[in-house]
Amino acid sequence: MTSPKLRLDISMSLDGFVAGPSRTLEQPLGEGGEGLHEWVFRLASWREPHGLSGGDAEAVDNEVVAEGLRATGAVVMGRRMFSGGEGQWADDTNADGWWGDDPPFHVPVFVLTHHARETVIKEGGTSFTFVTEGVEAALEQARAAAGDKGVSLAGGANVVQEYLQAGLLDELQIHLVPVFLGGGVRLFDGLEPIELETMRVIESDAVTHLKYRVVN
């Protein structure tokens, strides 16, 4: 049995940003950052796991998102992406994450943190397990939980960079949005060169899905 693949799906502006400037707890995507995700908010395949009805089920984008969800058996994310605060759990207003009682993941999620705590079990199949031993340990736990599916790397950018530079990412799908943020967080900044092979490109009016294999 081959090891479950680690995949990244991430929306990026044409000027290379994955979040806008001036991020706060109230505006976690930064100024203009919502514009990176408008293409996905309107899709049935995104709305359904978020407990929302309706949405476009016909767009080519819808199947791209559905495909990614079907292939995901576990998720790895950074601590800041999980709660946005300082990660000193007792003091955080957002210590159980952004997503309420029924988060949209519906699979085990592994959160990288420096502050150990008990696993949080949510509704709908989502759990949050906190991993303090670093990126390799988190990936190992996620792979064990993913079964015959893959592991999705949810971000943020610093965690993605760490996995990329450690040679642990297998596939990278960039959803390239033709907007400009003019500042914020760049996904590809100060990295050692990595080698990619183009797997697939899918175009829609709103976004271009660029799928690459990472040659590790």
Minimum gap (Å) between residue 96 Cβ and its own copies: 35
Distance from the Cα of residue 106 to its chain's centroid: 14
Among 171, 87, 199, smallest CA distance to 163 is for 171
Residue 99 or 188: which CB sits closer to its own copies?
188
Minimum gap (Å) between residue 32 Cβ and its own copies: 8
Minimum gap (Å) between residue 130 Cβ and its own copies: 31
Residue 25 or 60: which CB sits closer to its own copies?
60
In this structure, the number of other CB atoms found within 10 A of the CB of residue 102 comes to 15
74 near 109, Cβ under 8 Å? yes
Residue 127 or 158: which CB sits closer to its own copies?
158
Minimum gap (Å) between residue 172 Cβ and its own copies: 9
Strand-pair partners of 197 = 213
Residue 121 or 191: which CB sits closer to its own copies?
191
Residue 131 or 177: which CB sits closer to its own copies?
177
Q: Mutual orientation of helices 157-165 and 135-146 as an angle, nearest 10°? A: 90
* Rounded CA separation 27/181 (Å): 14
* Rounded CA separation 93/192 (Å): 36
Hey, what are 177's tokens?
């949005």
Backbone angles phi, psi at 4, to 5 degrees: -55, 135
Minimum gap (Å) between residue 196 Cβ and its own copies: 4
Minimum gap (Å) between residue 153 Cβ and its own copies: 17
* Rounded CA separation 213/5 (Å): 11
Binding site for its own copies (CB under 8 A): 14-16, 32, 174, 176, 178-182, 186, 188-198, 200-201, 203-206, 208, 210, 212
Residue 137 or 196: which CB sits closer to its own copies?
196
* Burial of 99 (C-beta count, 10 Å sphere; 0-12/13-18/19+): middle
